C-alpha cells in the first residue's frame, strides 16, 4: 500500500480513519476516489493541515459548529462549505476509532445490527460504523445543519457602494443603510 507523508483533504476524499502499522505507529488510512492509501500522520494532523490549507483552524471550525448545534460531542468539521467538504465523525468507543466521512460522499446507510450500520459512499465503498442507524442519521442531520449555516453565513457579505458625489450605501442580504456625507464631513 502507498504511504504518503503529507495529505490535504479535497473533493475526492471519502474518509479518514486511524490505523497502525506493524511497529504500532499511528497513521491515517485515506479513501480517495478509487484509491486507498496511508498517510504518515494522525487523523487529527491531517484534519488540522487541511483546515490550515482552507484558511481555518480547529478551534474556529469547532466553535462555528457548536454555535449551530450546541455543546455536543462528535460535531462535524467544515473544511470548505462551498466545496461541501464537511467531515462527519462516526465515533467508536474511543476517539482513535472515529471514522471521518465527507458528508457529500454518503450515498445510503443500512442497519447491520442494533449497534452497527453500513454506510455506502461514492466509488462503491462500504464502511462499517459501530453506531445505530439512529445515531448515524443524527450525525448526518447535524452535518447538514452546520453546512447550511456555513453557506448562509458566508453569503451574508456586506457591500459598500461609494460615489464621491453621493452618499455611501451599505447593503447586506436583508437591509440597506445610507450614510449621508454631510453627516460625516465637518463644516468650517
Question: Tens digit of pLDDT for each residue in 84-111?
Answer: 789 999 986 567 789 999 999 999 999 9
pLDDT at residue 150, as a whole number: 81
Neighbours of 3 (CB within 10 A): 10
Please identify which residue in the block is written with the cell numbers 450614510.
179
Exposed, middle or buried: residue 145 (CB in 10 Å: 0-12, 13-18, 19+)? Answer: middle
3-state SS class at 19: strand
The more confidently predicted of residues 153 and 133 is 133
pLDDT at residue 174, as a whole number: 59
- Rounded to two decimals, the pTM is 0.77
| φ, ψ (nearest 5 deg) of residue 111 | -75, 130
In the sheet that holds 168-171, the strands lie side by side as 159-161, 168-171, 176-179
What region, left, alpha or beta, does residue 70 occupy, with left being phi > 0 and alpha being psi -120 to 50 degrees? left
Answer whether 54's CB lies under 8 Å from 165's CB. no
- Average of per-residue pLDDT across 26-30: 96
- Would the pLDDT of 170 be above 60? no
Q: How far is Cα 90 from Cα 75, in angstroms, rounded to an integer?
A: 9
- Would the pLDDT of 177 be above 80? no
Q: What angle is formed at CA 74 by the lines to CA 73 and CA 77, rounded to 5 degrees?
A: 120
What element of type H or E holds 151?
A: helix 133-155
Q: CA of 52: how far to CAs of 67, 71, 77, 81, 140, in Å?
A: 21, 24, 13, 15, 24
pLDDT at residue 160, as a whole number: 47
Amino acid at each position: 500500500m502507498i504511504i504518503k507523508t503529507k495529505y490535504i483533504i479535497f473533493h475526492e476524499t471519502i474518509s479518514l480513519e486511524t490505523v497502525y502499522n506493524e511497529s504500532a505507529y499511528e497513521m491515517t488510512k485515506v479513501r480517495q476516489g478509487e484509491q486507498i492509501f496511508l498517510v504518515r500522520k494522525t487523523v487529527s494532523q491531517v484534519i488540522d493541515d487541511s483546515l490550515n490549507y482552507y484558511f481555518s483552524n480547529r478551534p474556529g471550525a469547532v466553535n462555528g459548529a457548536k454555535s449551530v448545534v450546541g455543546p455536543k460531542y462528535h460535531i462535524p468539521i467544515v473544511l470548505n462549505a462551498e466545496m461541501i467538504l464537511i467531515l462527519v465523525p462516526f465515533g467508536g468507543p474511543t476517539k482513535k476509532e472515529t471514522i471521518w466521512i465527507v458528508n457529500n460522499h454518503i450515498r445510503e446507510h443500512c442497519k447491520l445490527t442494533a449497534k452497527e450500520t453500513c454506510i455506502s459512499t461514492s466509488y462503491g465503498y462500504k464502511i462499517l460504523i459501530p453506531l445505530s442507524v439512529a445515531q448515524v442519521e443524527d450525525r448526518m442531520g447535524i452535518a447538514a445543519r452546520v453546512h447550511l449555516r456555513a453557506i448562509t453565513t458566508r453569503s451574508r457579505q456586506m457591500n459598500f457602494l461609494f460615489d464621491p458625489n453621493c452618499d455611501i450605501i451599505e447593503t447586506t442580504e436583508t437591509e440597506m443603510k445610507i450614510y449621508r456625507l454631510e453627516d460625516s464631513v465637518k463644516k468650517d
